[in-house]
Structure 1
């Protein structure tokens, strides 16, 4: 049987993406075959499609996408359609959500993942579209706030890009952990960020957060729109700057600041997400974590979804559906 998949064989604008048919993949003994109901388009995938950042081509391909990278899609939700003979973690028909990581491929009707991959049973109170949007942004926010910054009740947290796919979860999770949260976003997103629980908001189009006279225990830059050099002035002496982009530079800063007095940089990458997904699922099912979906496109319009993400103005998440909920 042939199924749909979106592929690209060269770096470039959204138009390099093509919808093709290919044979249904077969799971290996330790893999599950997932019938994908929904996936997303993230800013990271926009960069992968364009071959950016340049250092990332070591992973995705020097002059064009490696064969394993020719189908995008790192977040997904769907149903287990087949299981390998050694699989014990999942059953046929299980409704799952998860993260493909360095093995993207969710822009297709079916994809295989190891049973040890970042997969979990999806939240019972969400659609598949919502579940797909509840994977990478939420788990990344949790990784940085809990695991990197060791967030504590009563701390003051500044979230830059508070209306984005990571930022919307960062605001809510910081509040969940008992922090006082200030969100930085544009004018049109101020109300959304307040609704998510922010105690204070800063409109970056009219105000510079570094000139407010406030100091923070944690500055979480979820969109790469600032820098440690700029944010250091608003951090407490024992404060932490959390960057989600500029991995090479910020890893060097992490090492440098660890050896010095003053605020620290704590960079990193969250790849293993299974434990986080279980915790986040529980929060979602308890109505303690809101999923923000900006726009939804069918798979046939994945090019339009990439065009929209390329604008850099999405609120929360952009979802691509393969099966209507």
Structure 2
């Protein structure tokens, strides 16, 4: 089995990425605020770093001196920082929409939003139903408070999913 070393920039989408990566045998580092470290470790993260720390890049490189095989840049403006952590010839996968120039023979993979993911999505749904992947519901909003839900999502500090109840 190949062990991939992966950096994930945490967020509500990051919680899925962590669990999916763990499921295929990856060793995972993730960046998030310190109060989310235990939560991330419960999902499968080996090395958690606080993106507020000025030396978080160095912390990941201490954990994995040669760099990680791949990084998933979920949050906007994280692709270039991820590039510093990926070893020569690795990959930076941009889900954030960042456009960036690669270095050191690193491959940039831009997540195509228009691709057909029906089969993969059904597999993820099966894992959720079987309890292999957990969904954290952070907030449930009444329909009339939908703008509050949108505002929470825009903070990019979501730990889980926000749900709007339709009456």
Using the size of structure 1 for normalisation, the TM-score is 0.46
Counterpart check, 1:264 vs 2:116: no
Provide the alpha-carbon RMSD of the alignment.
2.0
Aligned residue for 1:266, secondary structure, equals strand
Counterpart check, 1:273 vs 2:117: yes
Change (3 A) 1:195 1:207: farther
How many Å separate the matches in 2 of 1:296 and 1:201? 28
Q: Deviations over 1:40-95 (max 9, x none)?
A: xxxxxxxxxxxxxxxxxxxxxxxxxxxxxxxxxxxxxxxxxxxxxxxxxxxxxxxx
Considering fraction of residues, name the structure with more helix: 2
Structure 1 match to 2:155: 311
Structure 2 match to 1:246: 97
Structure 2 match to 1:223: 75
2:52 counterpart (205, 210, 228)? 205
Provide the aligned length of Structure 1 versus Structure 2: 161
Kindly report which structure 2 residues correspond to 1:31-42, keeping only aligned pairs within 5 A, or say none.
none
How many Å separate the matches in 2 of 1:219 and 1:179? 12
| TM-superposed deviation, 1:221 | 1.1
Q: Which 5+ residue runs of structure 2 have no aligned equivalent?
A: none
Change (3 A) 1:225 1:208: farther
8 Å Cα contact 2:30/2:48 also seen in 1:
yes
Aligned residue for 1:223, secondary structure, equals coil
| TM-superposed deviation, 1:315 | 1.1
| TM-superposed deviation, 1:207 | 5.0
8 Å Cα contact 2:140/2:165 also seen in 1:
yes
Change (3 A) 1:316 1:183: same
8 Å Cα contact 2:73/2:82 also seen in 1:
no
How many Å separate the matches in 2 of 1:313 and 1:267? 23
How many Å separate the matches in 1 of 2:155 and 2:56? 23
